[in-house]
Amino acid sequence: MSCKLGPPLETQGTKLGNGCSSDTLSQTITLFLIVKCRMKKKLFLDVDTGVDDAHAIMMALAAPDVEILGITCCHGNTSLDNALKNTLRVLKVCNRLDIPVYRGCAEPMIARKRHAGDFHGKDGLGDVPDPDPPSPELLKKKAVQALIKTVNENPGEVTLVATAPLTNLAVAVLLAPNFPKKLKALYIMGGNTDSRGNTTVCGEFNFVADPEAAYIVLDRYTCPTYIATWEFSCRNSLPWSFCDVLFAQDTDKARFMEKISRHTRQMAQTERYQKEVVGESAFNTCDAYALAAAIDDDLVTESEEVAVTVELEGTYTRGMMAVDYMGLLKKKHKAVIMKKVDLERFKQMLMNSLK
Ligand SMILES: [Ca+2]
């Protein structure tokens, strides 16, 4: 987190009317700013833990100035039950089973349920057996209520990072229409800008898996909203040689990540996947971009602010994000669409996440 203390006070040494010297005042203000700088950034995560969600969670856990207030799980890459188990598994590897994990929505609002089992493995984490899984008794119920309660208790302070189909978030705003106004910001991995699909002809997985939810969230979350789209993640992907270096770190976290990533690495070599990607096939851990941008204000180096919505009716385009460059939708709220990141910064964050 960057923090600037501002210019020095020009009034230093003068006496104030209440008998308090401006030196004391200056010191107090400096102390206040230092404390504020050291305050942790409060994050709440909404995930469907597959391999890239695991990267994102581990990145958040490794960041020194970040506090994770809770994690809600949703259907998506795999079934809700698997997403819950996988999330606990990731937390266990990081020794952070103290973070509450909540059971969210098991199905989309209206759409037919779909998973990304081909890519992430049937269990969502590369089908590598877990000989000593964390107890499911650790899991908590009522994800949506927990999200609303946490945000209400920390008004203006919580950054919500959503790396799953947006069902939990949509249900939350239907139950509590004003709660998004109390969010500091929302970061989403999902949608697309160039009609490039990775699931349907024109659709990205998270939005296609629950188009109605994505529509509701883009319409009703009027807090600052940042979107890491499919094409953006492809264009900012990393060489496979970096992936080798990342996983070669001599830590349990790196060994775990290498193990659960084997299946997705194989899938990334398939002809089908080669057709999905924009540009060269490379190491693309989509969800980690949204998370990295949420914790590092200097990560995104190029972006654009545009009103967006989601196509709900098209035969080929249902679930596609529509980008309203012409302003025809007359939407006041615009989202920040990420375009480029500082790749060296991102690489360092990935390396730190497995240390
Ligand atoms: Ca995800």
Confidence of residue 33 (pLDDT cuts 50, 70, 90): low
Question: Ligand 1 mean position to 163 CA, how many Å?
Answer: 4
Judgement on whether residues 292 and 233 belong to the same structural domain of the protein: yes
pLDDT per residue over 130-157, tens digit each? 999 999 999 999 999 999 999 999 999 9
Tell whether 3 is covered by a domain. no
Confidence of residue 343 (pLDDT cuts 50, 70, 90): very high
Mean pLDDT of the chain: 91
Q: Which of 48, 53, 210, 296 is catalytic?
A: 48
The percent of residues above 70 in pLDDT, for the chain, comes to: 90
Question: Ligand 1 mean position to 280 CA, how many Å?
Answer: 22
Question: Ligand 1 mean position to 83 CA, how many Å?
Answer: 10
Judgement on whether residues 159 and 34 belong to the same structural domain of the protein: no
Whether 227 has a pLDDT exceeding 60, the answer reads yes
Confidence of residue 118 (pLDDT cuts 50, 70, 90): confident
**What's the rounded Cα separation, in Å, for the pair 29 and 22?**
10
Q: For residue 165, what pLDDT is reported?
A: 98
pLDDT per residue over 280-296, tens digit each? 878 999 999 999 999 99
Tell whether 320 is covered by a domain. yes
Confidence of residue 34 (pLDDT cuts 50, 70, 90): low
Q: Which domain CATH number covers 120? A: 3.90.245.10
Taking each helix axis from N to C end, the angle separating 252-268 and 80-93, rounded to the nearest 10 degrees, works out to 140
Confidence of residue 117 (pLDDT cuts 50, 70, 90): low
Read off the pTM. Answer: 0.90
Q: Which residue has the tokens 């266990």?
A: 92
Query: Residue 194 catalytic?
Result: no
- State the number of CA atoms in the 13 A half-sphere of 26 facing the CB: 14
Range of the domain at 201: 41-353
Question: Ligand 1 mean position to 11 CA, how many Å?
Answer: 52
How many CB atoms are closer than 10 A to CB 281? 16
pLDDT per residue over 167-226, tens digit each? 999 999 999 999 999 999 999 999 999 999 899 999 999 999 999 999 999 999 999 999
Q: Smallest Cα–Cα separation from 202: which of 231, 174, 160?
A: 231
Question: Ligand 1 mean position to 84 CA, how many Å?
Answer: 12
Confidence of residue 38 (pLDDT cuts 50, 70, 90): low
Judgement on whether residues 119 and 236 belong to the same structural domain of the protein: yes
Domain count across the chain: 2
Q: List CB-based neighbours of ion ligand 1 within 5 Å.
A: 48, 53, 163-164, 287
Judgement on whether residues 286 and 181 belong to the same structural domain of the protein: yes
Judgement on whether residues 192 and 63 belong to the same structural domain of the protein: yes
Amino acid identity of 91?
A: L
Three-state DSSP class for residue 152:
helix
Question: Ligand 1 mean position to 161 CA, how many Å?
Answer: 11
Q: For residue 12, what pLDDT is reported?
A: 38
Mean pLDDT on 96-124: 92
**Residue 352 Cα to chain centre, angstroms:** 17
**What's the rounded Cα separation, in Å, for the pair 319 and 215?**
9
The percent of residues above 90 in pLDDT, for the chain, comes to: 80
Judgement on whether residues 26 and 88 belong to the same structural domain of the protein: no
Whether 21 has a pLDDT exceeding 50, the answer reads yes
> Residue 188 to residues 166, 250, 293: CA-CA distances in angstroms?
9, 32, 10
Judgement on whether residues 89 and 15 belong to the same structural domain of the protein: no
Whether 9 has a pLDDT exceeding 50, the answer reads no
Judgement on whether residues 82 and 165 belong to the same structural domain of the protein: yes
